[in-house]
Every structure is written in C-alpha cells, then in structure tokens.
C-alpha cells in the first residue's frame, strides 16, 4: 500500500576529489520524507538509468527520499570504473553532501550492484557518519560464471545493519554462496530473495510477474526493513 505525495526534485553537484572534479547528483524528496537513501549506481549505467529512476520514484511514494549521484568516470562519459579508492572516496563525500542536503533526516546508504559494494567497502574502512544501515540492490558477489566470495570479505568489518535484495536468476550472486555469507554476518544482515529476478531485477514473461511488480517489491521491503531500524 502506497500513498501519493508531492516530490521535490533538486539537481546538485559536489566535488568528488580535487583531481576528479565535480559530479552530478539528483535529490528526490517526497513531502512526507522520514528517511533518505544515498543511492549509488552500478558499474555500467549512471544515476539516470531506468532502474535507478523507477526505484527512486517508488521509494519516494513510500516516504523515502533518495540522493542519487554519479561516480567520476560516469560523469566523464567513460565506461571504465574509477579505481576503488576513488569510488569509495566519492561514496563518502556523497554521504556527507546528502547529510547536509537533508539536514537532520536519518540516512541509509547503498546502491545498485557495484554502487552497493563500494558503499559497504567505504563503510568497512571507516563508518559513514549519519548512516543507519546499508541497502544492496543486487550485491555483486562475484563475476558472472566465476562463483566466489572474496568480494564479501570486507562485510565482516561493517558494523551497520545490512539489507541484501537479490534475484534468484542473478548471475553475479550464487545464492548457495550468498546465503552463508549473510548467515555469517549474524542478525545484522537481512537477505530478501526476489523470485525470478535477474541481476537487473528483470523477470521473464512466463514467471507471471512484471518488472514493475518487482520494483514495488523492492521498495516495500526497503521501507519495511528501514522502519524497524530508524530510531
């Protein structure tokens, strides 16, 4: 069940680093905002990708503001991701920019695929000030066809509650590997499985579900999980 609310859309910029320069950001803030999610994009598509836009709209309909932003390589029009230290630095600066922008509203942080992993990697090095939990929309546990868990090793150093939203057809996250990873993190980690969804949260027509229904599911689960954790 969702409710309609007025949305305030604000285009912003912030400096990712002295060498990388400014990057773009987009705030979507409903009138009934109670929490805000700092939302990073995946490796192959920026903050304007249809998935990112549609997810932000659905979260907004549930009172969750979003702060989407570009990594420097995407801002520059490159397809090759920046080195991990620059990606993590951008995450940290984006969280600070969102904290200033939303001024007192509790924050969550995370993102789609690589954006979520870089957020947790940054948090593992040093806590993200003002962030109450991390949300991963398709955590990229391993490259397609190369099952492994090394990409999750840093998660043991994350002290925040984490929400993993994963599809059963996600080629970048073998669920037989991800389930034990989440179990090892203890009660702080929540794993939600989206039946029939792939890494982009698309479903096959024969599944009887639509992509729109999956997006609503992701937004509902995010809302319900956050409500239990925001003080």
pTM of this prediction?
0.95
Strand bridging mode 35-40 / 162-167: unpaired
Which residues have CB under 8 Å from 56's CB, separation 6+? 28, 39, 66, 68
Q: What is the pLDDT along the chain (231 residues), one digit of tens a residue?
A: 344 568 999 999 999 877 788 999 999 999 999 999 999 999 999 999 999 999 999 999 999 999 999 999 999 999 999 999 999 999 999 999 999 999 999 999 999 999 999 999 999 999 999 999 999 999 999 999 999 999 999 999 999 999 999 999 999 999 999 999 999 999 999 999 999 999 999 999 999 999 999 999 999 999 999 999 887
DSSP three-state, residue 194: strand
- What is 7-227's CATH number? 3.40.50.1820
- d(Cα 113, Cα 190) in Å, to the nearest integer? 16
Strand bridging mode 64-69 / 7-17: unpaired
Decide: 154 and 116 in contact? Cβ < 8 Å: no
- d(Cα 140, Cα 137) in Å, to the nearest integer? 9
């Amino acid at each position: 069940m969702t409710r309609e609310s007025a949305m305030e859309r604000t285009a912003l910029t912030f400096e990712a680093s002295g060498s990388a320069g400014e990057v773009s950001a987009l705030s979507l803030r409903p009138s009934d905002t109670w929490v805000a999610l700092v939302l990073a994009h995946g490796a192959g598509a920026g903050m304007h990708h249809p998935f990112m836009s549609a997810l932000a709209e659905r979260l907004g309909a549930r009172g969750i503001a979003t702060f989407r932003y570009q990594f420097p390589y995407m801002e520059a029009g490159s397809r090759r991701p920046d080195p991990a230290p620059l990606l993590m630095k951008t995450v940290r600066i984006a969280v600070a920019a969102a904290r200033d922008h939303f001024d007192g509203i509790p924050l969550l942080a995370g993102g789609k695929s690589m954006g979520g992993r870089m957020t947790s990697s940054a948090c593992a090095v040093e806590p993200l000030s003002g962030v109450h939990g991390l949300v991963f929309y398709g955590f990229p546990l391993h490259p397609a066809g190369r099952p492994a868990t090394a990409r999750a090793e840093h998660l043991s150093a994350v002290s925040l509650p984490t929400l993993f939203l994963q599809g059963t057809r996600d080629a970048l996250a073998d669920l037989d590997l991800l389930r034990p990873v989440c179990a090892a993190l203890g009660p702080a980690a929540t794993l939600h499985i989206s039946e029939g969804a792939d890494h982009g949260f698309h479903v096959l027509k024969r599944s009887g579900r639509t992509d729109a229904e999956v997006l609503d599911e992701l937004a509902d689960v995010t809302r319900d999980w956050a409500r239990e954790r925001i003080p």
